[in-house]
Structure 1
Amino acid sequence: MKFWLSLMPIYETGQLVEIARHAEELGFHGITMADHLVMPTRIESKYPYTEDGKMWWPPDTPWLDPWITLAAMSTATRHLRLGTNIYLGALRDPFTVAKAVATLAALCGDRVMCGLSVGWIKEEYDLAGIDFPSRGRRMDELIAAMKKLWTGQEISHQGEFFRFEHAAMHPAPSAPIPIWCGGGSAPALRRAALNDGWLGVPLSLSQLKPVLASMQQTRREAGLTLDSFSPCVALAQALKPAVVEELAALGVHDTTCIAPWMLSPWGATKWIDDGDDIRQLDVKKKAMERFANLVIRQFS
């Protein structure tokens, strides 16, 4: 099993590079950054992954640009995979996204995973002047255009949202950049199945099985192989040997761990001590070390 450290934004932004270095040292396979382009100060949209529809992070949470942050992390690591979980690609144009991802790939030796999703905050789309209901179609077209740009060849594109001719982007990635898509809706799961991987929403193993079966069927119908598809699950239950065996049988070899010093709606294990100040880098490191000792070393 490969473990990805999923970083929700933290206030102590100056600690991020050291957190990445320590994650590599502890045996994490990859690290991911979350994304919001701009945070509306008034939100009526309902967060889809909590019962009350409310965000579980403070409204003044700092959202750094993930690609710039990952580039900084790459300077302190050699093998750690670097990705987004997730990046709101539909809020951008294909040139902006393709250039940022390809630049990181060039700087870090192709250790990049591009994790995309359409997001849920209508007000964020309103601020950016982008239509919210068509965001799924816009994302699909953005992915198609980016794949063309990443070839490094002269390309043209005539679509519903983006139109251009005689374009080329350099440097082109020297290795294919996997595109993993997040979300739990039917369109999101189909988008993930037709690309390279899925960044799963928190689910139990019993909930996960039909979701994986559906995505695998979508790939078969599209003529795509299952061995080239990487579902990365966020398991909403304890990771035990029998569970890991079942996941492997289902073709799951990647899992994501929300920063263990943070309290989230899905956290079942406490990795810090009472009274610990999670603003301190040493506390964050201690939580990561406990996770690595009790989980990564058992199942890697």
Structure 2
Amino acid sequence: MKWSLAGAMIGALELCELAQVAEEVGFDGIAMPDSVFYPERVSAPYPYTADGKRMWSPETPMPDPFIAMAAMAAVTSRIRFYTNVFKLPLRDPLLTAKQVSTMAVMSRNRVALGVGLSWIPEEFTFTGTEMRTRGARTDEAIEIIKAVCAGRGPEWVEFHGKHYDFDALMISPAPEIPVPIYIGGHSEPGLRRAARLADGWMSVNTTKAELASAIDRLTELRDEYGRADAPFGVNVSPTDVRDLDGYRELETLGVTEIRVLPWYRYGVDVGDRQARLDSIRRFADEVIAQY
């Protein structure tokens, strides 16, 4: 089992220290969220709360994940960094591929890309992108990024799809090891996208029962797409598992990595920097070391 910290809603100036402590005590990764901006008015409900309201205020820090990951990679040597999740259809795939390939090389292959679609209509409107085609464009963008970051160094790539089309080009630097791509989300299209295109799947914050259902469906879909024997990671954030036995049960379900927020586990004031760091050390002693 691998263990990651969820780096959401932490001040930008605290992230590098957090990464150093997490690496020191044995965490394997840090997951960074993606939020381009906070619209004053949102015309769609937040899909992961019962009342459709977001759980954070407009001024909650959401540093750009790629910049944050690059900064944390510069002050660490082992721990990995990945997005959870990067709103890919809001961005140009070639520009994204350039950023990801550079981060992969400069971090010595310690980055991965977790991909999502975005549920906020205003994010598409205000960035001049189309929400209606977000799924199809994401599929094509994943193929483009996988081609650029295939793990063979710089090479000629071209792509001719419905939404993106370009002739042979080369992006350098490019990694010597493929950059893993994970898909987030519990919807049927999201699970199908993960089973068909990705190296793994990421859950939202949810219960063990919901995780078991999603993992069963992923198993069925991977078999359907002829990918049952391919390596596949399952990265989850369980809301009702808090002890070693529960974590071991998740492993038997097929979970390969667990994301945690130790400061919430121990009832720490999220604004207390030292208490947050202490909670990371405590979780490493009480869970990771014992596991």
Asked if these proteins are the same fold (TM beyond 0.5), I'd say yes
Q: CA deviation at 1:101?
A: 0.9
- Residue 179 of structure 1 aligns with an amino acid whose one-letter code is I
2:145 equivalent to 1:146: yes
Alignment check: 8 A CA contact 2:31 2:83 kept: yes
Amino acid at match of 2:173: P
Q: Which residue of 2 aligns with 1:91?
A: 90
In the TM superposition, residue 197 of structure 1 has moved relative to its aligned partner by: 0.8
Instruction: After superposition, give the CA deviation of every residue in 1:98-139 in whole Å (9 maximum; x if it has no partner).
Output: 111111111111011111100111111110111112111111
Number of the residue aligned with 1:202? 205
* Structure 1 residue aligned with 2:235: 232
Q: 2:226 aligns with which of 223, 227, 230?
A: 223
Distance 2:124 2:227 in 1: 33
CA shift at 1:142, angstroms?
Answer: 0.3
Deviates more, 1:132-141 or 1:226-235: 226-235
The CA distance in 1 between the partners of 2:140 and 2:200, in whole Å, is 17
CA distance in 2, matches of 1:271, 1:107: 36
CA contact (8 A) 2:208 2:241 kept: no
The residue that corresponds to 1:131 in the other structure is: 130
Structure 1 runs not aligned, ≥5 long = 263-268
Structure 2 length as normaliser, TM-score?
Answer: 0.93
Paired with 1:246 and 1:217, the residues of 2 have a C-alpha distance of: 20
Q: How does 1:281-300 map to 2 (within 5 A)?
A: 281-299=273-291
Q: Which residue of 1 aligns with 2:258?
A: 255
Correspondence for 2:27: 28
Post-superposition CA distance 1:248-282 (Å, at most 9, x none): 22221211113x335xxxxxx3342xxx5x33421
Distance 1:74 1:84 in 2: 13
TM-score, scaled to structure 1 = 0.90
Deviation string, structure 1 residues 6-39 (Cα, Å, up to 9, x no partner) = 11132x3211101100011111110011112233
CA distance, structure 1, for counterparts of residue 248 and residue 225 of structure 2: 28
**How many corresponding residue pairs?**
287
Letter in 2 for 1:247: L
1:213 partnered with 2:216: yes
Task: Find the aligned partners of 1:281 and 1:239 in 2 and give their Cα distance.
Answer: 23
C-alpha displacement at 1:190, in angstroms?
1.2
**Counterpart-to-counterpart distance in 2, 1:295 and 1:120:** 34
Equivalent residue letter for 1:185: S
Q: Name the residue aligned to 1:265.
A: none
Q: 1:204 to 1:62 in 2, by over 3 A?
A: closer
CA distance in 1, matches of 2:239, 2:278: 22
Q: What is the CA–CA distance in structure 1 between the aligned matches of 2:248 and 2:278, rounded to whole Å?
A: 28
C-alpha distance in 2 between matches for 1:146 and 1:227: 19
Unaligned runs of 5+ in 2: none
Percent identity of the aligned residues? 36
1:270 correspondence with 2:269: no
User: In the alignment, does 2:161 pair up with 1:169?
Assistant: no
Aligned to 1:103: 102
Query: 1:227 Cα shift?
Result: 5.4
- In the superposition, relative to structure 1, how do residues 157 and 111 fare at CA in structure 2: closer, same or farther (>3 Å)? same
Give the counterpart letter for 1:4 in structure 2: S
Structure 1 residue 226: Cα displacement? 4.4
Q: Equivalents in 2 of 1:285, 1:292: separation in Å?
A: 11
SS in 1 for 2:166: strand
Q: Matched residue of 1:200: which SS?
A: strand
Is contact 1:85-1:116 (8 Å) kept?
A: yes
